[in-house]
């Protein structure tokens, strides 16, 4: 049995400072074998925001891996954005933008989906799909972790990542079983499974762990407990008007026949009423 904590969209610089210690306490009490952070550790990629993010990540007691998000490159400093977009991230979070980690019978492979030439929209670069497929372990539960989702719910109004459909189809054929992502600040698991044409891959799209944008309505993170072909997800939620995280909600999935089956009705995703402008939260 392997336990993975999935954090996304911390947004230090626009974060709920009063929730930071509660989040850290919950993460450290989760007894995780690995913590996976799928991007947007900062809000604008600024030095002071990276310092806050690094201080938080350093207090996580479990092994940790992270991939960048679109907010982790500077928005207004165009010279840095286009010439050395990941300098701040490499300096404070880690030099590897596409890390791979093994935790028991689980292998997690990172992808960098950030396009410095776009504000929001992600990109799957040439060669990335093949690189990840080449790293899959046929004896493990293979998880791909990136910031931008490879598929969107119908009600989401942001542009889908470039080459996402190709990536999802090829990863499914190659044997990837789970994709972790963030970016949208909208939790989706069963709802995504209901609409996808790729049920061999369970897409776990995280809400935001710390962003203080009121329209998100809540912060959350998840703990995945993987036991062979069985998956239990603990979803920890802190509504914006409550000081800490509620007791977890549970979701159950199995993949005994090569496709994922949900053992509860699909959740009702909380989609923000309108996408804010590129220069607010993007």
pLDDT at 270: 83
Stretches where the chain sits below pLDDT 70 are 272-282
Closest CA to 250 of 230, 233, 264, 275: 233
Query: Residue 272: what pLDDT?
Result: 67
Which residues, at least 6 apart from 12, have a Cβ–Cβ distance to it below 8 Å?
A: 41, 42, 43, 49, 50, 52, 53, 56, 210
Q: Among candidates 74, 76, 99, which has minimal Cα distance to 89? A: 74
- Predicted confidence at residue 279, as pLDDT, reads 39
Report pLDDT digits (tens) over 184-215.
999 999 999 999 999 999 999 999 999 999 99
The answer to pTM > 0.85 is yes
- pLDDT tens-place string over residues 216-266: 999 999 999 999 999 999 999 999 999 999 999 999 999 988 999 999 999
Q: Sign (positive/negative) of CA torsion 272, 260, 146, 29? A: positive
Where residue 193 falls (left for φ over 0; alpha for ψ -120 to 50; beta otherwise) is alpha
Tokens standing for 141?
Answer: 């539960």
At 273 the pLDDT is 43
């Amino acid at each position: 049995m392997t336990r993975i904590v999935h954090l996304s969209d911390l947004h230090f610089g626009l974060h709920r400072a009063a929730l930071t210690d509660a989040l850290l306490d919950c993460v450290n009490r989760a007894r995780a074998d690995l913590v996976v952070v799928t991007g947007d550790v900062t809000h604008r990629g600024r030095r002071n925001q990276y310092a806050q993010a690094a201080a938080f990540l350093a207090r996580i007691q479990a092994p940790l891996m992270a991939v960048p998000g679109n907010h982790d490159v500077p928005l207004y400093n165009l010279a840095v954005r286009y010439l050395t977009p990941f300098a701040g991230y490499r300096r404070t979070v880690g030099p590897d933008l596409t890390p791979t980690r093994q935790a028991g019978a689980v292998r997690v492979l990172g992808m960098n989906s950030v396009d410095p030439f776009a504000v929001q929209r992600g990109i799957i670069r040439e060669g990335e799909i093949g690189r990840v497929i080449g790293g899959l372990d046929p004896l493990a539960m293979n998880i791909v972790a990136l910031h931008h989702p490879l598929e969107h719910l119908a009600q989401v109004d942001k542009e889908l990542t470039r080459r996402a459909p190709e990536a999802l189809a090829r990863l499914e054929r190659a044997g990837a079983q789970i994709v972790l992502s963030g970016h949208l600040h909208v939790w989706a698991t069963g709802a995504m499974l209901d609409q996808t044409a790729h049920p061999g891959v369970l897409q776990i799209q995280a809400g935001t762990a710390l962003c203080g944008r009121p329209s998100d309505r809540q912060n959350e993170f998840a703990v995945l407990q993987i036991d062979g072909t069985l998956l239990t997800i603990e979803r920890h939620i802190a509504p914006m008007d409550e000081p800490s995280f509620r007791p977890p909600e549970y979701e159950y999935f199995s993949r005994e026949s090569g496709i994922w089956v949900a053992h509860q009705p699909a959740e009702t995703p909380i989609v923000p009423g309108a996408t804010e402008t590129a220069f607010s939260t993007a």
